Amino acid sequence: MNSQLLKIKQNIILYDDTLISEVDENLFDLEFWANHEETQLINKGRGKVLLINCQGLPSVLKHYYRGGLVSNFLSETYLWQGERNARSIKEFMVLQEMFQAGLPVPRPIAARVNRQGIFYTADLITSRIDNSSSMGDLLRENSMSSDLWKNTGSCIASFHMKGFYHHDLNIENILIDSDQNVFLLDFDKALQMDPSNSMAQKNINRLQRSLNKNFSNPSKPFPKAEWEILIEEHSKQLHQD
3-state secondary structure 37-55: CCCEEEEECCEEEEEEEEC
Of 83, 61, 57, 90, nearest to 189 by C-alpha is: 90
pLDDT at 159: 98
- Find out if CATH 3.90.1720.10 is the number for domain 132-238: no
- The better pLDDT of the pair 79, 36 is held by 79
Q: Which amino acid is at 40?
A: Q
Answer yes or no: is pLDDT of 46 > 90: no
Q: What is the pLDDT of residues 16-40, one digit of tens each?
A: 999 999 899 999 988 888 888 788 8
CB 163 within 8 A of CB 192: yes
pLDDT at 36: 83
For residue 72, name the pLDDT band (cuts at 50, 70, 90). Answer: very low
- List, by residue range, all CATH 3.30.200 domains of the chain: 6-127
Q: Which amino acid is at 218?
A: P
Average pLDDT over all residues of the chain: 91
Q: What is the mean pLDDT of residues 42-60?
A: 83
CB 181 within 8 A of CB 149: no
Q: Catalytic residue at 168?
A: yes
Q: What is the pLDDT of residues 180-222, one digit of tens each?
A: 999 999 999 898 999 999 999 999 999 999 999 999 887 788 9
Q: What is the pLDDT of residues 108-137, one digit of tens each?
A: 999 999 999 999 999 999 999 999 999 999
For residue 44, name the pLDDT band (cuts at 50, 70, 90). Answer: low
Report pTM. Answer: 0.92
- Catalytic hit among 29, 168, 177, 188: 168
CATH of 6-127, one of 3.30.200, 3.40.1000, 3.30.1360, 1.10.10: 3.30.200
Q: What is the mean pLDDT of residues 170-189?
A: 96
